Structure 1
C-alpha cells in the first residue's frame, strides 16, 4: 500500500488537499469519489522502488524535521504505543494529528513501509534528514529488545534536552549581537557622516590640527573611501575561509587547533564531550552494543579531530580495551569524565555515569558561556563609550585651540 497526495473539489466547489493510502492511484480516486470529492490530481508520494533507485540529488530534496517537531512526534508515538496501539495505527494517528502536510506525508510513507513488512527503524531510513542515524539506531534497539515505547520516550527526553540547551545559548547570544551591531553602526555613522562635515569647518580656518584629530580624520576618510570595499572584502574572506574548511585536511587541522586555544578549547571540548556522552548514554540505555554505540556517537561530534580520536578509541574497545582507558589514551577527554566512566564500568552502571557526565559537562559549558557573555556586554559598552569619547575629543580639541588663539 502506497501513500498518495491528492487535490480534489468538494461538493461546494472548494479545493481540498490531503494524503491517503491506497493500492493504486485508481483506487485512491475511487476512495475520493466515495467521500463525495471530485479528484483533480492524485500523485504517489513513494513507490516500492524508491529505496533502490535513490540518488544523492533526490536525497538532498527529501524533507526534514526541526528538533522540536521530531521531539513532539516521538513523544506522540511513545504515548500511543505505550497505550497498546499497533505501530501502524500509531503512525496513522500521528499523521492525522499533525497539521503540517510535510509531516503527514512522511508519516504516511513510513506507515506504508511498516505495513509492507519493514521494521520501524528501516522505515524511518526513508527520510535520513528527518530521522538521523542516532535516532534510527535507538529505535532499532528498542524494537529488538521489545521496549519500543520506553526507548521512544527516552529519545523524546533526549531531543527536548538538546533543544533546550541550544535555545539557552541562542537566547544568551541575542543581547551581545544586538549590542555589537549597534556599536559598529554608531561608529560607522560618526566616522562616515559626522566627522567629514566638521572637517570642512576646520579646513576653512587653516589652523594646525592636533594629532588626535588628524588620526580621526584619516579613519573617517578610510571609512568613506574604502568602507564598502572593506565589507565586500570581509564577506569574501569569510566565504573563502568556510570553503577552505570544507577540505578535510584543513578542517582537521583547524579543529585540532581549536582544542588548544585558551577558553575556546574548554568551550569546544566541553560541548563535544557533553554531546558524545549524552548520545552514548541514550544508545547504551537502549541496548545498542557499546562498539556500535561508539561509532554512532562519534559521528555526532562536530569536531573532526575529536571524532578521529573517538574512532581510534572505538577500535581499541573492539579489541578488548576498556572505554575509560581507550578514551584516556587520546588525551582530549576531561579527567572527571574518565574517572566517572571508569567507575561506571567497574560498578556496571555505565549508562547512569554517562548520563551524569553529560549533565555535568553541559553545566560547565553553560556556566562558562554565561560568564563570557556577561562580560561581553560591558566590554562592548566600554569600547563604544571610549570610541565616542575619542571622536568627541578629536572634534573639541581644535575648537579649544582656536579659542586660545582668539584670546
Structure 2
C-alpha cells in the first residue's frame, strides 16, 4: 500500500506532520480528517525517497471551474474561518486541498494579494472568471458588516440553489434541443436530397407550381448555388451577435427578449424575482443599508433589463421614498413582490417578508420548470407537424394537379 506524508492543522491552529499508508491521496486525506485534523498537504512518498505532490499538473491550469468546485471551496472556507483560522492560513490550506488547477491558481493569487494588504473583496474580484459578481459582492457585504462567516453560509445556499435551478432547466431543455437538431437535419436532408427529384418531374410536366413548392425550390437553389456565401454570412452573424451581446446595449436587448419569450420568459422573470428577494434578505440580515443593497443587487441580478431599472430606483431611494413605492413604476417587478416589500417596510419586518417572497418564487420556478417540460412537448409536435405539412404541400399539390392533368388527357 502506498505511503503518504501529510501536514495538517489542529483545532487550536498549530501545525503537525506525520506519515500514514492509504490506497490513494483522497483516502489519506480522509484518514487525516478522522484524526480530528485539517489536512493542508498530502504527498505520496516515492520508493526512491523523493516525494510527489498529490494532484494535477500545470497542463490543466485552464480547465473550467464547475459550480460544485466553488460550493465545496466555500463550505471548507467557512468551516475553517469558523474554527478561528486566519484568512491567509485558510487559503494556504485550501489551495493544497482543491483538485481543480484553475481554482488552485486563483486561491494562490488571492492569498498573495491579501498578504500585500488588499481586501478580500478586491482579491476575489480579480478572478471574476472563477467567482461570479454575486459571489464577490457577497464577500464584500460580509467584510463591510463584519459577518463574513454568516454571509458565506447564506452564499452556500444561494450557489447551491441556483445550480439546482440551472440544472433543472437544462434537463428540461435537453429533449427539446435534441428534437430541434434532428428536425433541422431532417429538413436539410429533404431539401437537398429528396426534393430535387420532384423538381425535375414538375418542370418536365409543365404544371403550375403553388407557393409552398416555389418556396422549397428557392430554398434548394440558395443552399446548392449560394452555400459559399450563405455559410460565411450565417457564421459571421452568429459571431457578430456574440460580440454585440457582450456590450451594454446588446445585453439589454438580449435579456429583454428573453423575458418576452412565450414559455421561458416567465421562468426567467420568476428566477430573477427569487434571486432579488433572496439576496436582498441576506444583505438586510448582514446590516447593509437599502441603498447599498440595491447597488450590489444591480450587478448580481443576472438580467440586464431588470438591472437597468435599478438606476432610477437608486435615485428615488436617495430622495427617501422607500423601496416599495419606486418599485411600482418598475416594469418587471410583480405586484406580489411589491406588496410584500410594502408590508415589510410598514411592519419593520422587511427581511422576513423578503425571505417569504424568495421561498415563494423558488417554488414558482420549480413548478414552472416542471410545467415547461409538459408544455414543450405539444409545441414541438406542432412545429414538427408544421414542417412536415409544409413539405407535404410542396410535393403533393403539384402531384395532384399533375394527376388531374393526366386524367383530363385520357
Identify whether the pair has TM-score above 0.5, normalized to the shorter chain.
yes
- Summarize deviations over 1:75-124 as a string: whole Å, max 9, x none: 11112223443333322222121122222222233233444555433432
| CA deviation after TM superposition for structure 1 residue 253, in Å | 6.8
- What SS is found at the alignment partner of 1:209? coil
- Write the distance in 1 (CA, Å) between the matches of 2:148 and 2:276: 23
- Corresponding position of 2:156: 156
2:384 corresponding residue in structure 1: 381
State the secondary structure of the residue aligned to 1:129.
coil
Tell me which residue corresponds to 1:74. Answer: 74
Instruction: Report the CA distance shift for 1:167/1:193 in structure 2 as closer, same or farther (over 3 A).
Output: same
Question: Residue 299 of structure 2 aligns with which residue?
Answer: 299
Distance 1:73 1:231 in 2: 44
Q: Are the structure 2 counterparts of residues 102 and 157 from structure 1 closer, same or farther at C-alpha, using a change threshold of 3 Å?
A: same
Structure 2 Cα separation of the partners of residues 336 and 160 of structure 1: 25
| Cα distance in 2, alignment partners of residues 352 and 225 from structure 1 | 65
- 1:186 aligns with 186
Query: What is residue 167 of structure 1 aligned with on the other side?
Result: 167
Shift of 1:189: 1.2
Among 207, 210, 218, the residue aligned to 1:209? 207
Quick check: 1:276–1:297 contact (8 Å CA) kept in 2? yes
- Residue by residue, what CA displacement relative to the aligned partner does 1:267-322 show, whole Å, maximum 9, x if unpaired? 55444433333332332233322211110101223544532321221232233221
Contact 1:310–1:327 under 8 Å retained in 2: no
* Partner secondary structure for residue 321 of structure 1: coil
Q: Deviations over 1:360-404 (max 9, x none)?
A: 335445555616534432223222432343355257537745864
Matches within 5 A, 1:181-330: 181-201=181-201, 206-209=204-207, 211-212=209-210, 214-215=213-214, 216-227=216-227, 229-241=229-241, 243=243, 248=248, 266=266, 269-330=269-330
Cα distance between partner residues in 2 of 1:257 and 1:103 = 34
Residues 1:37 and 1:186: Cα distance change in structure 2 (over 3 Å): closer
**How far, CA to CA, are the matches of 1:90 and 1:128 in structure 2?**
20
Partner of residue 349, structure 2: 349
Partner of 1:29 in structure 2?
Answer: none
Corresponding residue number in structure 1 for 2:24: none
Check the 8 A contact 1:64/1:127 in 2, yes or no: no
**2:114/2:123 contact within 8 Å kept:** yes
**Are the equivalent residues in 2 in contact too, given 1:121–1:137 (CA < 8 A)?**
yes
Whether the 8 Å contact between 1:191 and 1:219 is mirrored in structure 2 is: yes
The structure-2 alpha-carbon separation of the partners of 1:248 and 1:91, relative to structure 1 and needing over 3 Å to count, comes to closer
1:70 deviates by 1.9
Report the equivalent of 1:135. Answer: 135
Per the alignment, residue 12 of structure 1 pairs with none
| Residue pair 2:202, 2:398 contacting (<8 A) in 1 also | no
The TM-score with structure 1 as length reference comes to 0.71
Q: Where in structure 1 are there 5+ consecutive unaligned residues? A: 1-34, 39-60
| Residue 134 (structure 1) shift | 3.4
Q: CA RMSD in A?
A: 3.7
Give the distance between the partners of 2:256 and 2:99, measured in 1 at CA.
44
Question: Do the aligned partners of 1:252 and 1:304 also contact (CA within 8 Å) in 2?
Answer: yes
Task: Provide the rounded CA distance (Å) in 1 between the counterparts of 2:101 and 2:208.
Answer: 68
Pairing partner for 1:397 from 373, 391, 400: 400
Contact 2:74 2:156 (C-alpha < 8 Å) held by counterparts: yes
For 1:107, the equivalent position in structure 2 comes to 107
Q: 1:366 to 1:396 in 2, by over 3 A?
A: farther
Structure 1 equivalent of residue 93 of structure 2? 93
Greater shift in the superposed pair: 308-317 or 238-247: 238-247
- Tell me, in whole angstroms, the C-alpha distance in 1 between the residues paired with 2:168 and 2:402: 50
How many pairs align?
Answer: 349
Alignment CA distance shift 1:253-1:138 (3 Å): closer
- Tell me how far apart the structure 1 counterparts of residues 108 and 363 of structure 2 sit (CA, whole Å): 39
- Alpha-carbon distance in 1 for matches of 2:122, 2:250: 35
Q: 1:292 to 1:66 in 2, by over 3 A?
A: farther
State the Cα deviation string for residues 13-46 of structure 1 (Å, max 9, x = none). xxxxxxxxxxxxxxxxxxxxxx9589xxxxxxxx
Q: 1:236 to 1:108 in 2, by over 3 A?
A: closer
